[in-house]
Structure 1
Amino acid sequence: MIAKTMAEPHSDDGAPQRHPRLAVTFAARLSFDDVHHSYHGKETIRGVSLTAEPGEVLCLLGPSGSGKSTLLKIAAGIEAQSRGRVMINDREVAGPLAFLPPEKRGIGLMFQDFALFPHMTILDNVRFGLTALGRKAAVAEAHEALDRVGLAHYAASYPHVLSGGEQQRVALARALAPRPGVLLMDEPFSGLDSRLKDTIRADTLAILRESRATAIVVTHDAEEAMRMADRIALLRDGALVQVGDAHEIYRRPADLFAASFFAEINEFQTRVQQGRVETPLGTVPAGNHADGTRVSAAVRLSDVTVAAQGGEIPARVLSRRFIGVVEILELAVPGSERAIRSRIRADLLPKGLRDVTISVKQQDILVFEKER
């Protein structure tokens, strides 16, 4: 139903009717400069320096408690940092020299629960933040924003009649209607049906691109971040682990945490010997790690190739779980006390096959110094 609503309507002659273009904003640069934050004596943000460039979609990614939402609140002015500065277009909006309230920052907010007012019509919800305009102009802007997200026909309705996906789009329209230079989105898709997430996410990204606002999106879902972001900032325990585009972080993770956050991995603990790192799935150069250094080696499940024969390492199938397009295998291999897991295309192996071979490319064995 939602996907159909989002599709472009057609005129009587069959030609697509475009939604009016959402008014373009003047995208702003938002920067965190050595930002710290504490809560009840516990440091929740530890020296974060990060910039969202004009028109960029930047995802703050990390597990619960990593500081993502706190950073968003600091940017919005809902929370105050204990140290450091927040700047918009190189102007300090929070720091030793200034503290602008949220309504003075030119920032749009979109919360996880959408925060729609149940007693207001959809149109009034969208025009709620257009306080700088007269009523007639505000209504016109709100109608245009609703039309762009495909919900103009719900203008006189109330939030309770809308599905979760439709409410999400109303919240997006409301956040963008004032044409903010920066849009902050806190887990905007977490409450949606998993079957509709891809469609709603793609449509949201298209609207963000058209509006040209700088967007900072909080998520705990690595795949979601890779689908949406120009760049990803991965956080852990209030500190930045790595910043880069999806390809860079996935292919060259900074540490074991980054590698495991973006994909399921097989992990091995070992030591560097004679400049090499030996694992049950192959031996690789140790790089800059000195002999005797304790290291963690990681291999993604998708990088373990399984075949009936012709591979480099003999293995025995302990279990296989069919999950649609792929199967997850657990395999016993020489030299490993724990089962090795592999993610392969479904039906690649004959049913009932027990003895197989596996191969792993040398560049797919990732080596990191062991965390203390």
Structure 2
Amino acid sequence: MKTETAQTANRVSAGVTFAARLAFENICHSFETGAETLRDVSLTAEPGEVLCLLGPSGSGKTTLLRIAAGIEAQTSGRVLLNEREIAGPNVFLPPEKRSIGLVFQDFALFPHLTILDNVRFGLTALSAEEARSEAMIALSRVGLAHYAGSYPHVLSGGEQQRVALARALAPRPAVLLMDEPFSGLDSRLKDNVRAETLAILRESRATAIVVTHDAEEAMRMADRIALLKGGKLVQTGSAEELYLRPANLFVAGFFSELNVFEGRVRDQFVDTPVGKVAAPGIQDGLAASVAVRLTGFDVNETAGEVQARILSRRFLGVVELLELAVPGAEVPVRARIRCGALSAKARDIWLSLRKSDVLLFETQRENA
């Protein structure tokens, strides 16, 4: 069997007819039990954009995707495709009328159909010959035309994912929806298949909305990321914006492992066990949360700002993960350092804060 990389060379480029703007306006959704899954979500995927819906389990991201596809109906609000309402108070287009493709989490390939027949399954509006031609174009686009007569069981997980992508692209949709498309893949293949999928999306020029719970995956794929929590949209922006300028502690913690210290602002500073942190713009006396990424420490065996004792040390290849006892800290402080930064016998060390990896949030706003 050819490798994933070798098969990439067989892929050909082919674009869709057009890309569309998909907009969610004030979307709310509740189940019959009354439980709210989405609360007043407004969000737009621009033409040709890869937008990632990111959030923990139960945040509402898959429900929003199902509403876009027409599988689920919102309780209130509207969905618009190129300014045309496709779901709202008085309109509900069925899925097959929306020009929206969907790639399921489990790929949903038919085991009794050949790869070609799987891909042309939804091309019912075309003649048999036209459907075959479009299906072969879609398979060529994902580098799997040579498997047209085979059956799904002979393919690897990554190849099955690409067949599912080809099937969704075959009708040349204006918008492509992908629900956790890489969650079932071996971690060794995931990076390659993800990069290949992104290349195919760019070439097809379809607007794409990808659901994931993996922040790194969203950062690798997305032009923009929409982070949800408890059915509400928390922050939208580029990967850089959400990482460097998180709206609150939840956003910061979703993109980085953190050490969090609570304190009060005094003379525009917050004292923490790992050092004093500037608090510009926060009124004296207010409670604040100081978040320090695990990469936010410089370590030294002879000098620094704060003393610490190594409790545990894990070798992770390029980096080491330390657990540290720091005076005044109620729980061990964690640090991720470059291998070789400390000698093998180091036990008592010094820490210095790296300001670029320190984030400050007003606790009252965080809890609002």
TM-score bracket, shorter-length normalisation = over 0.9
Residue 98 of structure 1 aligns to which amino acid in structure 2?
V
Matched residue SS, 1:132: coil
The aligned residue for residue 58 of structure 1 is: 51
Residue 53 of structure 1 aligns to which amino acid in structure 2?
E
Alpha-carbon shift at residue 281 of structure 1 (Å): 2.1
Q: Provide the C-alpha distance between the structure 2 equivalents of 1:33 and 1:275, rounded to a whole number of angstroms.
A: 40
Q: Provide the C-alpha distance between the structure 2 equivalents of 1:305 and 1:313, rounded to a whole number of angstroms.
A: 11
Over the aligned positions, Cα root-mean-square deviation in angstroms equals 1.3
Task: Pick which of 276-285 and 121-130 moved more.
Answer: 276-285
The aligned residue for residue 12 of structure 2 is: 20
Alpha-carbon shift at residue 363 of structure 1 (Å): 4.1
**Count of matched residue positions in the alignment of Structure 1 and Structure 2:** 363
Question: Any unmatched runs of 5+ in structure 2?
Answer: none
- Percent identical pairs in the alignment equals 67
The aligned residue for residue 266 of structure 2 is: 273
Matched, 1:327 2:320: yes
The TM-score normalised by the length of structure 1 is 0.94
Task: Pick which of 125-134 and 30-39 moved more.
Answer: 125-134
Matched residue SS, 1:98: coil
Whether the aligned pair in 2 keeps the contact of 1:33 and 1:48 (CA below 8 Å) is yes
Task: Pick which of 217-226 and 333-342 moved more.
Answer: 333-342
The aligned residue for residue 175 of structure 1 is: 168
Residue 262 of structure 1 aligns to which amino acid in structure 2?
F
Residue 314 of structure 1 aligns to which amino acid in structure 2?
Q
Residue 232 of structure 2 aligns to which amino acid in structure 1?
A
Alpha-carbon shift at residue 8 of structure 1 (Å): 1.4
Q: Provide the C-alpha distance between the structure 2 equivalents of 1:82 and 1:208, rounded to a whole number of angstroms.
A: 31
Q: Provide the C-alpha distance between the structure 1 equivalents of 2:34 and 2:107, rounded to a whole number of angstroms.
A: 31
Q: Provide the C-alpha distance between the structure 1 equivalents of 2:237 and 2:46, rounded to a whole number of angstroms.
A: 13
Pairing partner for 1:239 from 232, 236, 246: 232
Residue 89 of structure 2 aligns to which amino acid in structure 1?
P
Alpha-carbon shift at residue 208 of structure 1 (Å): 0.1
The aligned residue for residue 16 of structure 1 is: none
Q: Provide the C-alpha distance between the structure 1 equivalents of 2:256 and 2:333, rounded to a whole number of angstroms.
A: 15
Deviations 1:46-71 (A, max 9, x none): 00000000000000000000000000
Alpha-carbon shift at residue 132 of structure 1 (Å): 1.9
Matched, 1:33 2:25: yes
Task: Pick which of 157-166 and 107-116 moved more.
Answer: 157-166
The aligned residue for residue 359 of structure 1 is: 352
Alpha-carbon shift at residue 356 of structure 1 (Å): 1.5
Matched, 1:3 2:4: yes
Pairing partner for 1:80 from 68, 73, 86: 73
Q: Provide the C-alpha distance between the structure 2 equivalents of 1:314 and 1:31, rounded to a whole number of angstroms.
A: 52
Task: Pick which of 211-220 and 297-306 moved more.
Answer: 297-306
Deviations 1:214-257 (A, max 9, x none): 00000000000000000000000000110000000000111010
Q: Provide the C-alpha distance between the structure 1 equivalents of 2:3 and 2:122, rounded to a whole number of angstroms.
A: 26
Alpha-carbon shift at residue 137 of structure 1 (Å): 1.1
Q: Provide the C-alpha distance between the structure 1 equivalents of 2:343 and 2:8, rounded to a whole number of angstroms.
A: 42
Q: Provide the C-alpha distance between the structure 2 equivalents of 1:25 and 1:232, rounded to a whole number of angstroms.
A: 25
Matched residue SS, 1:125: helix
The aligned residue for residue 130 of structure 1 is: 123
Question: Any unmatched runs of 5+ in structure 1?
Answer: 10-18
Matched residue SS, 1:153: helix
Matched residue SS, 1:272: strand
Matched residue SS, 2:18: coil
Whether the aligned pair in 2 keeps the contact of 1:2 and 1:166 (CA below 8 Å) is no
Q: Provide the C-alpha distance between the structure 2 equivalents of 1:325 and 1:3, rounded to a whole number of angstroms.
A: 27
The aligned residue for residue 312 of structure 1 is: 305
Alpha-carbon shift at residue 307 of structure 1 (Å): 2.4
The TM-score normalised by the length of structure 2 is 0.95
Matched, 1:252 2:245: yes
The aligned residue for residue 195 of structure 2 is: 202
Q: Provide the C-alpha distance between the structure 2 equivalents of 1:106 and 1:178, rounded to a whole number of angstroms.
A: 8
Alpha-carbon shift at residue 335 of structure 1 (Å): 2.4
Q: Provide the C-alpha distance between the structure 1 equivalents of 2:70 and 2:152, rounded to a whole number of angstroms.
A: 27
Whether the aligned pair in 1 keeps the contact of 2:320 and 2:338 (CA below 8 Å) is yes
Matched, 1:263 2:260: no
Pairing partner for 1:46 from 22, 29, 39: 39
Residue 92 of structure 1 aligns to which amino acid in structure 2?
E
Matched residue SS, 1:114: coil
Tell me which stretches of 4 or more aligned residues in structure 1 moved more than 6 Å: none
